[in-house]
């Protein structure tokens, strides 16, 4: 049974599709939006559409950016021979926040998961292999310590080592199944410094 008019229900439905938004929060947000001045609603929808239309993958590292090359790949002050492989752009941001890593990144946009039918071709692996033909000395595998993250790490190691490039894995201390973005900076740095050769 619909308590609200069709348009309000439609708005609540759309909002409740967002991650972490249950039916109750969706209702609260919908009424908040309806009470906002139209100019503010325009600014919000404009920001969403603008981001959606301009954000794309960095030509080099595949992170989400609004230019051809992301600021990290475009920087001459970074060590381009050291590539840290992460699962998503939020993980990249977590390491950037520490301010102590001076290499560059590669964003896979996922991890290998046989259970979910996600194979090597479904993540940005080919793009990484292309980069390795350049001058790369070390690949630091910083995928999550979940089953998928570990599977991806082993796969990467087998794939890259024959090319004579050093492959390292960030130390555990990152809790099993833990998402990198929720882990504090000290733990992240310790994991980076304590990385071991694969």
Which residues make up the interface to Zn ion (CB under 5 A)? 58, 60-61, 70, 73
| Nearer CB in complex with Zn ion: 30/83 | 83
| Nearer CB in complex with Zn ion: 31/57 | 57
Give the shortest CB-61-to-Zn ion separation in angstroms.
3
Give the shortest CB-59-to-Zn ion separation in angstroms.
7
| Nearer CB in complex with Zn ion: 60/87 | 60
Give the shortest CB-180-to-Zn ion separation in angstroms.
18
On the 0-12 / 13-18 / 19+ scale of CB atoms within 10 A, 113 is middle
- The Cα 92–Cα 63 span in angstroms is 8
Give the shortest CB-7-to-Zn ion separation in angstroms.
41
Q: Do residues 106 and 124 touch, judged by C-beta distance below 8 A? A: yes
**What does the angle CA 77 – CA 180 – CA 82 come to, to the nearest 5 degrees?**
30
Report the C-alpha dihedral over residues 108, 182, 117, 115, rounded to 10 degrees. 140
- State whether residue 134 is helix, strand or coil: coil
| Nearer CB in complex with Zn ion: 65/168 | 65
């Amino acid at each position: 049974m619909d308590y609200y008019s069709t348009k309000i229900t439609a708005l609540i439905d759309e909002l409740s599709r967002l991650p972490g938004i249950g039916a109750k929060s969706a209702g609260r947000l919908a009424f908040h939006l309806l009470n906002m001045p139209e100019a503010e609603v325009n600014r919000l929808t404009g920001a969403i559409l603008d981001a959606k239309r301009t954000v794309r993958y960095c030509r080099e590292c595949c992170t989400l950016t609004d230019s051809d090359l992301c600021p990290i790949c475009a920087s001459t002050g970074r060590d381009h021979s050291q590539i840290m492989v992460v699962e998503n752009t939020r993980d990249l941001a977590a390491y950037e926040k520490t301010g102590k890593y001076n290499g560059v990144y590669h964003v896979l946009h996922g991890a290998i998961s046989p259970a979910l039918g996600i194979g090597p071709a479904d993540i940005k692996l080919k793009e990484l292999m292309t980069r390795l033909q350049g001058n790369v000395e070390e690949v630091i595998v910083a995928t999550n310590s979940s089953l998928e993250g570990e599977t991806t790490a082993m796969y990467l190691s087998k794939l890259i080592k024959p090319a004579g490039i050093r492959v390292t894995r960030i130390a555990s201390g990152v809790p099993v199944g833990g998402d990198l973005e929720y882990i504090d900076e000290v733990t992240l740095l310790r994991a980076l410094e304590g990385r071991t050769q694969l």
